[in-house]
């Protein structure tokens, strides 16, 4: 009798309950319904290298009113812009040098520009992750660098997406 009971417990141990997963999925979908569309901060500079503009708009978007202070927003954007100001002139110089030597090197002279632009992109992503951990995740916001298609032409550009994170229900048990 005891073996049969323990056998049922072991059989029950391996059982997969889909009802709980469906309830959790429905709850997540309800939370996502109330999340507004992300705010897009576009590049506003006059130089763009591989889709990355030399500065981003520092004008405070109205959809962030009540979520974050305008001073914090401008401070974050100015940190990103200072990173771009430090890195992008080097990228432009290497781009010009690479274009001049491109025929002689069969395109290999473009590799430094590609590597430098990846490094610039990664440093901005790290900066945005630091900003998220420092402040924005506490405010249920998430900043990230995203590649989007330009509105005016067929080119791609990098923009800063400010996404609204769904609030976790604190009254729901774990």
Domain annotation covers residue 9: no
pLDDT digits 0-9 by tens, 80-99: 999 988 888 777 777 777 77
Domain annotation covers residue 15: no
Q: How far apart are CA 32 and CA 29, in angstroms?
A: 5
What pLDDT is stored for residue 18 in this prediction?
54
* Contact between residue 143 and residue 119 where contact means Cβ atoms under 8 Å apart: no
What pLDDT is stored for residue 132 in this prediction?
95
Domain annotation covers residue 5: no
Domain annotation covers residue 131: yes
pTM of the model: 0.71
Range of the structural domain that residue 137 is part of: 37-56+68-164
Domain annotation covers residue 26: no
Q: What is the mean pLDDT of residues 1-8?
A: 50
Domain annotation covers residue 30: no
What pLDDT is stored for residue 151 in this prediction?
78
3-class DSSP assignment, residue 130: helix
Q: CA of 66: how far to CAs of 70, 91, 144, 169, in Å?
A: 9, 38, 20, 20
3-class DSSP assignment, residue 58: coil
pLDDT digits 0-9 by tens, 105-156: 777 777 777 778 888 899 999 999 999 999 999 998 999 999 988 878 888 8
- Structural domain tally of the chain? 1
* Contact between residue 74 and residue 101 where contact means Cβ atoms under 8 Å apart: no
Q: How far apart are CA 148 and CA 41, in angstroms?
A: 11
Domain annotation covers residue 136: yes
Domain annotation covers residue 44: yes
């Amino acid at each position: 009798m005891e073996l049969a009971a323990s056998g049922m417990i072991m059989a029950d141990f391996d059982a997969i309950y889909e009802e709980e997963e469906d309830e959790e999925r429905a709850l997540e979908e309800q939370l996502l319904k109330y999340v507004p569309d992300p705010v897009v901060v576009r590049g506003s500079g006059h130089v763009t290298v591989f889709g990355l503009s030399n500065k981003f708009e520092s004008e405070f978007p109205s959809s962030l009113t009540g979520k974050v202070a305008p001073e914090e927003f401008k401070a974050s954007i100015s940190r990103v812009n200072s990173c771009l100001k430090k890195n992008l002139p080097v990228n432009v110089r290497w781009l010009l040098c690479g274009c001049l030597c491109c025929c002689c090197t069969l395109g290999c002279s473009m590799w430094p520009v590609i590597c430098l632009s990846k490094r610039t992109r990664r440093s901005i992503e790290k900066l945005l992750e630091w900003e998220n951990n420092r402040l924005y995740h506490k405010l249920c916001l998430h900043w990230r660098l995203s590649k989007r298609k330009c509105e005016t032409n067929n080119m791609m550009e990098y923009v800063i997406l400010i996404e609204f994170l769904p609030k976790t229900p604190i009254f729901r048990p774990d």
